[in-house]
Amino acid sequence: MEIINTVAGLNQALNSARKEGKSIGFVPTMGALHQGHMDLVSRASAECDVVVVSVFVNPTQFNNPSDLEKYPRTPEADSELLKKFGCDVAFFPSEREIYPENLVSPRVDLEGLDEVMEGTFRPGHFKGVVQVVSRLFQLVEPQKAFFGLKDFQQVAVIKKMVLQLNLPIQIIPCETSRTEKGLAMSSRNTRLTEIQKEEALIIYQTLMQAKTDSAVFSPQETKARAMVWFEQGSLELEYLSIVDPDTLKELTDQWVSGATMCIACFCGEVRLIDNMTLI
C-alpha cells in the first residue's frame, strides 16, 4: 500500500493503472476508520483492480466549529487498518492540496435534497459535501465510488451531483455496518461511553419497530408511534422523518417503494444518525 499526501503523488501512483485500463474504486472517508469503512474497502477491492481510500476531515461540511475540532483524527491507526483490507493507495491530503487557491467548485442544483433533515439542522453541510467529493472525484477519476448508506441523505445528494455534472462514475451504496446489538458503526461512536452505547440502541430498536409497524399503519401513524420511543428514552431527538428515497420528501398517507425512516439525535454531546428502509 502506498501512502500519499499530495495531488502530484496521487497522479503518479495512478497513472500506470489508468494507462493499463485498470478499474479504480474509490472510498472517500474522514478517517477515524472502523469496520464499517473496511466493509466499503473490501467491497471496492472485490469489484475493482485498484482501490483508493482518502482520509480528509473536510472543514467546509461542518457548520459547527466545535464539532470539527472534536472530530476524531487517528491517521496512524487508519494507515495500519487500511493495509489489512485491500487498500492500494491511501491518500492523506492537506487542506491546501484539496483546496488550492483559485479552485472553482462546480455549482449543482440539488433540487431540494439539501433542504430537509440534515440540511435543516446543518446549513451549508451539503454544499461542503458536494465541494469536497467533486474535487476528490476530479483527482482520483474512479470508475466506481463506494458510500455507506448510514449517510442516506448524503448518498442521494452525491447521486444527484454525479447526474448533474454528467460524471462517468458509478455510485455504489453499501448497507450500514452495525455492531452485534444493532448500533450503526460511526467514527463518532468513539466519543460514547459504554453506557451511552447501550442507551443509543434505542435508535435501532425504533427503526426495527417502525419496519414492523409499516405493514399495518400509514407513514404518519408509524412516525407517531416511533416518536414515543424517544419520549421515553434518554436521547434528545433532533428529527425523525419517513421519506421518499428519491425526492426525500416526507411521506404521510401513502407508502412508496423504498420508503426510509431517518433519525438524528443526541446521545449526550454526540450527534448520531441512522436510517432504515421500511417498505
Which of residues 144, 174, 204 is at a domain's end?
A: 174
Same domain (yes/no): 161, 25: yes
Question: pLDDT tens digits, residue range 64-83?
Answer: 899 999 999 999 999 999 99
Same domain (yes/no): 232, 255: yes
Residue 31 contacts residue 149 (beta carbons within 8 Å): no
Same domain (yes/no): 170, 191: no
Grid cell 443509543 — which residue? Answer: 200
The closest of 171, 172, 221, 229 to 200, measured between CA atoms, is 229
Question: pLDDT tens digits, residue range 82-137?
Answer: 999 999 999 999 999 999 999 999 999 999 999 999 999 999 999 999 999 999 99
Domain containing 206 equals: 187-274
Task: Report the pLDDT value the prediction gives residue 233, as an integer from 0 to 100.
Answer: 86
CA distance 222 to 212: 9
Q: How confident is the model at residue 232 (pLDDT cuts 50, 70, 90)?
A: confident
- Among 28, 33, 37, 88, the active-site one is 37
For residue 179, tell me if it sits in a domain: no
CA 233 to chain centre: 26
Mean pLDDT of the chain: 97
- Strand runs (DSSP E) across 11-163, as ranges? 24-29, 50-55, 89-91, 144-148
Whether residue 37 lies in the annotated active site? yes
CA 145 to chain centre: 12
The burial of 265, by beta-carbon neighbours within 10 Å (0-12 exposed, 13-18 middle, 19 or more buried), is given as buried
Helix H or strand E encompassing 238: strand 236-243
Which of residues 131, 146, 174 is at a domain's end?
A: 174
Residue 265 contacts residue 237 (beta carbons within 8 Å): yes
Same domain (yes/no): 170, 220: no
What is the number of domains present in the chain? 2
Pairing of strands 144-148, 236-243: unpaired
Give the global pTM.
Answer: 0.96
Average pLDDT over residues 32-47: 97
